Amino acid sequence: MAFLFKSKSKSEIERGLHRTKESFGEKIRSIFTKKINDPDFFDEMEETLIMADVGVETTLEIIEHFKAYIKDKNIKDGEGLKNLFKQSLQDMIPQVTFDYKENQLNVLFIVGVNGVGKTTTIGKLSHTLKNEGKKVMLAACDTFRAAAIDQLSVWADRAEVPIIKQQMGSDPGAVLHDAIDSAISKQIDILIVDTAGRFHNKANLMAEIEKLNRILNKKIESAHKETLLVLDACTGQNAYVQAESFHQSVQLDGIILTKLDSTAKGGIVIHIAHQLKLPVKFVGIGERITDLLPFNRDEYIDSIL
């Protein structure tokens, strides 16, 4: 069953997207004050989308999609054009929520390079899920980075959820082994696994994730697993490159996009979601522990338009 989160107020969503709305959104809205036969209409749209990190390929696809709608509906200006553009964006972005399974252990492998806010995001996600009435536990399997375990422990305390950990340099597989045993004995609903944020190459990354997967499958075959990648929205096209690389290596189930409140180029959501067919499942919109929201495609588009 799809996991149902408490709805957030419109003001919270708009607060988190205010920079994108004021920059990307303002320019897009100004385009729709023109008629479709204005010679600058599509040139301005193309430039605005590319500057908002939507990406060249995705931008051209959106415009072609939009033109097909216009031809079919024979709308030339005003609110009608804006609504058709909205439909074009909706077609580009999959709407897939976090898929929670009742009466079994749900395991979230959280991956991402160092510096994107992975540990902070895990803390916020723990708080969000706990507030939904779920029993949450953390597994500190990033045993390679100095202070990673200590930082995760701080967030576990803030979110008031248990954490399974060992010393730095310990075998991540051993940590996960202990965490699964503890999660089963305590009837935990969701086990969130922090994985290493840096490896020398893709082969090492894939080998480590595969090892953790094997341990999970051996310990409890019935567990429902998702692998989510944490990305920093402020890094723009580099975030797309990271998503593409991780997806090729470990087969992601979705994206958590952090720092969306800190960028005016929120179009990266569209580029990643469409080109990689990866749903954005959560977005970070601030520093508070409550500032992680389930991503809602229609609210994202509405806040821009």
> Could you read off the pLDDT of 29-44 as tens digits, one per residue?
888 888 888 888 999 9
Check whether 1 has a pLDDT greater than 50: no
DSSP 262: G
Check whether 278 has a pLDDT greater than 60: yes
On average, the pLDDT of the chain sits at 86
Q: What is the CA radius of gyration of the chain?
A: 21
For the ranges 25-34, 55-64, 201-210, 238-247, the lowest mean pLDDT is seen at 201-210
- Alpha-carbon gap, residue 30 to 249, rounded angstroms: 41
| Burial (0-12, 13-18, 19+ Cβ within 10 Å), 228 | buried
pLDDT score of 100: 84
pLDDT score of 134: 94
pLDDT per residue over 68-127, tens digit each?
Answer: 988 888 877 778 888 889 999 998 888 777 778 888 999 999 998 888 889 999 999 999
Within its chain, how far is the Cα of 43 from the centroid?
30
Check whether 199 has a pLDDT greater than 60: no
Q: Which comes out higher in pLDDT, residue 7 or 62? A: 62
Check whether 19 has a pLDDT greater than 80: no
Task: Retrieve residue 114's tokens.
Answer: 């160092």
Residue 249: pLDDT band with limits 50, 70, 90: confident
Among 100-104, 135-139, 164-168, which range has the highest average pLDDT?
135-139
Q: Which pTM was predicted? A: 0.89
Residue 202: pLDDT band with limits 50, 70, 90: low
pLDDT score of 115: 83
Domains along the chain with CATH numbers: 10-92 (1.20.120.140), 106-252 (3.40.50.300)
pLDDT score of 12: 66
